[in-house]
Amino acid sequence: MANEAFPALRKANDRIALVDGESSWSYRELKARINRCSAGLLEAREDLREERIAVFAPAGIGYATALHAVWQAGGIAVPLNVAAADAELEHHLANAGATRLIAARDLPPETRRLCGRLGIQPLAIDSLPAEPRRPMPPIEPARRAMILFTSGTSGKPKGAVITHRAIHAQINLLTKAWKWSESDVLPLFLPLHHFHGIINVLNCALWNGACVHAMPRLDIEKLCVQAARGTYTALMAVPTIYVKLIAHIRTLAPADRNAVCAGFGRMRVNISGSAACPAKLFRQWRELTGQVMLERYGTTETGMALSNPYDGDRRAGTVGQALPGVSVQRFDEQDRPIGADATPGEIRIRGDSVMQEYWNNAEATRAGFRNGWFRTGDIAIVEDGYYRILGRSSIDIIKSGGYKLSALEIEGVLLDHEAIGEAAVIGLPDETWGEIVAAIVTLRDGARLDLAGLKQWCDGRMSAYKIPKQLKIMRDLPRNAMGKVVKTALRDLL
């Protein structure tokens, strides 16, 4: 059985697995729900035989039940973004060839119509009241467990196929690297169609017998109240969430602010990933809470690959070293491996937690791997044994006047400008320079900025060829569900 691999679900004791609003569920209760749900999915069959079943539910007991029920019954789970537009849902459902969709609550009429058009049967988790049954099908680790859609750099999202073995390998290595234990309690607010929320938080917790407090959507105020009460032992979030936390903490009265900061400070670890954490944010968080953030790097296709040390020196603006059991190698443009130095190179990854393939897309799979290495498209240097990500080769590496510039490095400097709230840097085509540096920023309340002033400020803070030649001020930067800036949208805009 798939969930037999999860030690805490195997034990199924009375420890609390999940808190969802006012309700909480023990491992015993969660296991019973999973058993009933998987029996309902199987009906008279013995094994779902990799039937693709979409899971359409926010963080909560319904999601955890459905995901594990699909795994246990031998299906492939296709977690969907509950906030996705119908056109996106259609692409994911049709591409995965999903035949059923489990929803936590009533589907919106448009999504119901979409299912009808695609011949997909919608199911409500709570209307699967079947008796638990035995036996469940044996699940070989090599079998496919889930398809996660990821945009990559271009084209329509592709479905990364993750096997049970890859999930188990990933959880095992994160358990050791980040010292998970059954006494952990974590908030879960990340969207659950993405690796970070599904594996790093929810399933690492369920594997280890820890407890997650599900928030169907991020509630910064509640998160801070609970942090001040000492509810959580660890926090895993994306950089934009730390930005929002800092903004909220600054609005609090001194006594509340101290209590919230002390609450975050008492946790055993605060982790950031899925996008670059600017050095300024790292410093601000340390100054406020005393927490030295642990930044790590990974992708949907490979799982987590690089991490600052749990014990040891965590360095701002870096993502540490390869996690145990993951092979990481940088390659130059001629496909030659390069040593651990300051020469930029593409990160390629090998290991048990790497995906098997892109679903139904042999061409993308072929292009994604070279000699067994997954090509991430991310460029990094190594400084004193620590990886520093320069950005995605296709969008963050700007080729201007013969130089290759890192957008992430320039963004990091711009964030030190007192008028700038958020910054995104992109390259725009230019006849003379090949590309020119354009900065898109949001301003702090009441602040003003123009290009001449920005250029003057940058002079002496960065080499002349890195100084932005275009400036656009926006109210908000376009971000995806994971809080990452959608740079392709900015490029189209400019």
- Binding string, residues 127-156; x marks residues near ligand AMP by CB under 6 A: -----------------------x------
CB of 273 to ligand AMP, least distance (A): 5
Using CB under 6 A, pick the residue from 63, 195, 285, 433 that binds ligand AMP. 195
The residue (of 8 and 423) whose beta carbon lies closer to ligand AMP is: 423
Q: In the bound complex, what is the minimum distance in angstroms from residue 307's beta carbon to ligand AMP?
A: 9
* CB nearer ligand AMP, residue 298 or residue 345: 298
User: How far does Cα 161 stand from its chain's mean position?
Assistant: 16
- Bridging pattern class, strands 234-237 and 211-214: unpaired
Note whether 400 binds ligand AMP by CB under 6 A.
no
Between CA 201 and CA 237 the distance in angstroms is 9
Residue tagged 């730390």 (tokens):
242
Tokens read off for 416: 């030190």
Q: What share of the chain is helix, strand, coil (3-state, %, to 5)?
A: 35, 30, 35
**Which conformational region is residue 21 in: left (phi greater than 0), alpha (psi within -120 to 50 degrees), or beta?**
left
d(CA 8, CA 182): 9
Using CB under 6 A as the binding rule, whether residue 297 contacts ligand AMP is answered as yes
Parallel, antiparallel, or unpaired: how do β-strands 144-150 and 345-351 relate?
unpaired
Q: How far is the CB of 99 from ligand AMP (least distance, A)?
A: 26
CA distance 72 to 66: 10
Distance CA(145)–CA(161), nearest Å, equals 7
> Residue 477 to residues 52, 113, 150, 240, 426: CA-CA distances in angstroms?
35, 32, 20, 11, 13
What is the DSSP secondary-structure string of 112-176? HHHHHHHTPEEEEGGG--PPP-SPPPP--TTSEEEEEEE--SSSS-EEEEEEHHHHHHHHHHHHH
Q: What is the largest CA-CA distance in the chain?
A: 72
Binding to ligand AMP by residue 275, rule CB under 6 A? yes
- Does 42 bind ligand AMP (CB under 6 A)? Our answer is no
CB closer to ligand AMP out of 74 and 197: 197
Name the minimum Å distance from CB 46 to ligand AMP: 35
Per the CB < 8 A criterion, the answer to whether 238 and 482 are in contact is yes
CB of 487 to ligand AMP, least distance (A): 11
Residue closer to ligand AMP by CB (options 69, 190) is 190
29 is an interface residue for ligand AMP by CB under 6 A: no
Choose, by CB under 6 A, the member of 208, 240, 299, 321 that binds ligand AMP.
299
Q: Is 307 in the site for ligand AMP (CB under 6 A)?
A: no
Judged by phi (left if over 0) then psi (alpha if -120 to 50, else beta), residue 314 lies in: beta
Question: For the chain, what's the residue count?
Answer: 494
| 487 interacts with ligand AMP by CB under 6 A | no
The residue among 224 and 397 lying less far from ligand AMP, judged by its C-beta, is 397
Q: How far apart (Å, rounded) are the C-alpha atoms in residues 2 and 142?
A: 11
Stretch binding ligand AMP (CB under 6 A), from 171-179, 273-281, 446-454, 455-463: 273-281
Residue 216 or 273: the one with the smaller Cβ distance to ligand AMP is: 273
Determine if 349 is a binding residue for ligand AMP (CB under 6 A): no
Tell me the closest approach of the beta carbon of residue 12 to ligand AMP, in angstroms.
31
273 counts as binding ligand AMP under rule CB under 6 A? yes
Binding residues for ligand AMP, rule CB under 6 A, total 16
Interaction mask 203-222, ligand AMP, x per CB under 6 A: --------------------
Q: Name the segment binding ligand AMP (CB under 6 A); options: 93-101, 280-288, 297-305, 430-438.
A: 297-305
Whole-angstrom distance, CA of residue 408 vs CA of residue 410: 6
H or E, element range at 409: helix 407-414
Q: Is 178 helix (H, G, I), strand (E, B) or coil?
A: coil
> Does residue 393 interact with ligand AMP by CB under 6 A?
no
Q: Of 170, 289, 300, 308, which one interacts with ligand AMP (CB under 6 A)?
A: 300
- Applying CB under 6 A, does 274 fall inside the site for ligand AMP? yes
Using rule CB under 6 A, residue 392 touches ligand AMP: yes
Residues between 369 and 388 that touch ligand AMP (CB under 6 A): 376, 378
DSSP letter for each residue of 35-79: HHHHHHHHTT-S--TT-EEEEE--SSHHHHHHHHHHHHTT-EEEE
Please say whether the beta carbons of 157 and 148 come within 8 A: no
What type of residue is 86?
D
CB of 306 to ligand AMP, least distance (A): 8
The stretch near ligand AMP (CB under 6 A) out of 166-174, 257-265, 272-280, 286-294 is: 272-280
CB-nearer residue toward ligand AMP: 240 or 376: 376
Report if residue 276 touches ligand AMP, rule: CB under 6 A.
Answer: yes
Among 53, 174, 319, 490, binds ligand AMP (CB under 6 A): 319
State the residues that interact with ligand AMP by CB under 6 A.
150, 195, 273-276, 295, 297-300, 319, 376, 378, 389, 392
